[in-house]
Amino acid sequence: MTTKTEQTRALSLSTFSFTVCFAVWTIFSILGLQIKENLGLSDTQFGLLVATPVLTGSLSRLLLGIWTDQYGGRLVFTLTMLCSAVATYLLSSVTTYHMFLFAALGVGLAGGSFAVGIAYVSQWYEKEKQGTALGIFGVGNIGAAITNFGAPFLLVAYGWENTAQIYAAVLFCTAILFFLFSKDDPKLVARKEKNEKPRPILEQLEPLKNIQVWRFSLYYFFVFGGFVALALWLPRYYVGMYGLDIRLAGSLAAAYALPGSVFRALGGWMSDKFGARHVMYWTFTASVICLFFMSYPATDYRIHGIEGPIDFTIAIGLVPFVVLTMILGFFMSLGKAAVYKHIPVYYPDHVGAVGGVVGLIGGLGGFCLPIAFGVMNDMIGVWTSCFMLLFAITAIALTWMHFAILIMEHRIHPELRGPKFLPELGILKHK
Ordered DSSP codes for 363-424: HHHHHHHHHHHHHHHHHH--TTHHHHHHHHHHHHHHHHHHHHHHHHTTSS-TT--STTTHHH
Q: What's the number of domains the chain is made of?
A: 1
Does any domain span residue 220?
yes
Does any domain span residue 193?
no
pLDDT at 172: 96
pLDDT at 80: 94
Query: Which residue range is the domain that position 251 belongs to?
Result: 7-184+203-425
What residues does 312 pair with on adjacent strands? 301
Secondary structure string (H, E, C) spanning 43-90: HHHHHHHHHHHHHHHHHHHHHHHHHHHHHCHHHHHHHHHHHHHHHHHH
pLDDT at 421: 41
pLDDT at 79: 95
Rounded Cα distance, 214 and 171, in Å: 32
Q: Cα(first)–Cα(last) distance of the chain, in Å?
A: 28
What residues does 311 pair with on adjacent strands? 302
Q: How far is CA 133 from CA 35, 123, 265, 342, 355, in A?
A: 38, 11, 8, 13, 15
Does any domain span residue 2?
no
Sequence-ordered strand ranges (E) for 216-368? 299-305, 308-314
Residue 26 sits in a domain whose CATH number is 1.20.1250.20
pLDDT at 199: 64
Concatenating the DSSP letter of every residue in 343-369 gives HHHH-TT-HHHHHHHHHHHHHHHHHHH
pLDDT at 83: 93
420 phi and psi, to 5 degrees? -65, -20
Instruction: Find out whether 26 and 109 touch, Cβ atoms under 8 Å.
Output: no
| Amino acid, res. 358 | V
Does any domain span residue 192?
no
pLDDT at 424: 40
Does any domain span residue 194?
no
Q: How far is CA 294 from CA 117, 249, 365, in A?
A: 33, 17, 19
Instruction: Find out whether 275 and 429 touch, Cβ atoms under 8 Å.
Output: no
Instruction: Find out whether 372 and 205 touch, Cβ atoms under 8 Å.
Output: no
Does any domain span residue 191?
no
Does any domain span residue 189?
no
Does any domain span residue 385?
yes
Percent of the chain beyond pLDDT 90? 23
Instruction: Find out whether 217 and 357 touch, Cβ atoms under 8 Å.
Output: yes
Rounded Cα distance, 405 and 198, in Å: 36
Instruction: Find out whether 250 and 235 touch, Cβ atoms under 8 Å.
Output: yes
Instruction: Find out whether 310 and 303 touch, Cβ atoms under 8 Å.
Output: yes
pLDDT along the chain (431 residues), means of 10: 85 94 87 85 83 84 83 92 92 86 90 87 81 83 83 86 92 96 85 72 64 82 88 86 85 82 81 85 94 85 79 80 92 88 71 74 83 86 89 91 77 47 44 41
| Amino acid, res. 48 | L
Instruction: Find out whether 246 and 33 touch, Cβ atoms under 8 Å.
Output: yes
pLDDT at 418: 43
DSSP code, position 426 = T
